[in-house]
Structure 1
Amino acid sequence: MSKINQIFDHSQKSKIFDKEVKSLKDYIFLIAVDAKNYQKTVIDVVKFLINEQNLPGIYVTLNKPFEVMQRILASNDIDSRVLIFIDVTSRTESKKVENCLYIGSPEKLSDLSVAMDQAIKALPTEEKFLIFDSLNTLSIFNKPTTVARFIHFLTGKMREWKIKGIIITLEKETDPALLDELTQFSDARVDIGGES
């Protein structure tokens, strides 16, 4: 069982945390993961929110194109029709898709902000989530101070939207000062690494 599943599992080890999570209508989790566990962690988080919590959501992908993410989720029995994707990595839109907004570059933070706001408003349910995958990719294309300001803005918007927010980052690829700052804005930080 993965660490993400253990967090939300009803085992003795996580009962207190599970109770806290279930009592929160909205929250912001920072998940710092090693590269080896990255894809499995992403799948576990999405599967939990969609398959177990029955929530619609927004998936901001900065690492893989929409089409790739859609295939990965489908191969793991996750219904991506309840997701609105924001594809920040694809340079051009391959075809018109109803549930995907294309940004074109991780440097276009204003466009990304507008797209997230539009996507949140487009979901008809009160309860929803936003997964931001991943923070370290922003750091490759933007200055550390710009990323810090954007993350501060993003966590503020997540609270304003009253949603479940999950921010994923590769721990070793993310500036420790930025991780500390984001931890301060989050309700909880989960570190996943070194497991097989």
Structure 2
Amino acid sequence: MSRSFSDNSLVLILSNAMDLKEENVALTSVLSRNNYNVVIITSNLPASILTKEYESKGIEMKNVYFIDLITRYALGSNPGNSDSVQYVSTPENLTEIGIAITKLLNNIENDRIVFLFDSVTSMLIYTSSDKITRFLHFIVNKIRLKNSKGIFMATGGGINPALLMQLRTFVDAVIEDKEEIDDFFSS
């Protein structure tokens, strides 16, 4: 198996919880610099907070999109979708997440699209492992059929072994070493 992002469509990154946000920012920076349209499915932090974080790190936001699973659930109201942000009612509404992914896939002009799931682990707070496994299998196939790419981030010790085993079978590469990330995504 080749060890570069250009040769792999789907990647699982296993991280420790303390590094998850930092790795999200670093990945988004590298991907946007390499002219990818980055669609972040965020179940960890609201899009507004991630946007501020990215901008403070100098990330160009014109090719960054969000499917925000947190804001509507936390606020109890819809702040209103935009071209760059789709709000989902609750993190457990997998059908609505799938529809938002399909909508963005169809609306983004450039074919260089990467879907970044910022925390499979935090999705487990809202939905059972079995449902997430089925949902991710559906999404993985949608990503492959559309010739896009996907990155799934999870905390190594915070995910049940059955789901982890399934995730490993869905992806082309697994990165467990923080130092590998820059080399893998820069090449």
TM over 0.5: yes
Q: What is aligned with 1:139? A: 124
Q: How does 1:111-122 map to 2 (within 5 A)?
A: 111-122=96-107
Q: What is aligned with 1:5? A: none
Structure 1 residue aligned with 2:3, among 17, 28, 48?
A: 17
Verify: 1:181 aligned to 2:162, yes or no: no
Verify: 1:49 aligned to 2:31, yes or no: yes
Contact (CA 8 Å) 1:35, 1:170: kept in 2 or not?
yes
Question: For residue 114 of structure 1, what is the amino acid of its counterpart?
Answer: I
Separation in structure 2 between the aligned mates of residue 125 and residue 96 of structure 1, nearest angstrom:
21
Identity within the alignment, %? 23
**CA drift at 1:180:** 1.1
What value does the CA root-mean-square deviation take over the aligned residues?
1.7
**CA drift at 1:96:** 5.0
Separation in structure 2 between the aligned mates of residue 126 and residue 96 of structure 1, nearest angstrom:
22
Contact (CA 8 Å) 1:57, 1:123: kept in 2 or not?
no
Instruction: Provide Cα deviations, 1:166-196, integer angstroms capped at 9, x if missing partner.
Output: 01111221112111110111000111469xx
Q: What is aligned with 1:13? A: none
Q: What is aligned with 1:166? A: 151
Distance change (3 Å), C-alpha of 1:118 and 1:95? closer
Over 2 Å off, 4+ runs? 92-98
Separation in structure 2 between the aligned mates of residue 192 and residue 175 of structure 1, nearest angstrom:
19
Runs of 5+ consecutive residues of structure 1 not aligned to the other structure = 1-15
TM-score, normalising length from structure 2? 0.87
- SS of alignment partner, residue 106 of structure 1: coil
Separation in structure 1 between the aligned mates of residue 178 and residue 11 of structure 2, nearest angstrom:
16
Distance change (3 Å), C-alpha of 1:160 and 1:71? same
**CA drift at 1:144:** 1.6
**For this pair of structures, how many residues does the alignment match?**
174
Separation in structure 1 between the aligned mates of residue 81 and residue 127 of structure 2, nearest angstrom:
28
Separation in structure 2 between the aligned mates of residue 87 and residue 42 of structure 1, nearest angstrom:
15
Question: For residue 3 of structure 2, what is the amino acid of its counterpart?
Answer: F
Question: For residue 80 of structure 1, what is the amino acid of its counterpart?
Answer: M
Distance change (3 Å), C-alpha of 1:193 and 1:96? closer
Runs of 5+ consecutive residues of structure 2 not aligned to the other structure = 180-187
Question: For residue 58 of structure 2, what is the amino acid of its counterpart?
Answer: D
Q: What is aligned with 1:75? A: 56
**Bigger relative contact order (CA 8 A; separation at least 6):** 2
Q: What is aligned with 2:65? A: 84
Contact (CA 8 Å) 2:28, 2:38: kept in 1 or not?
no
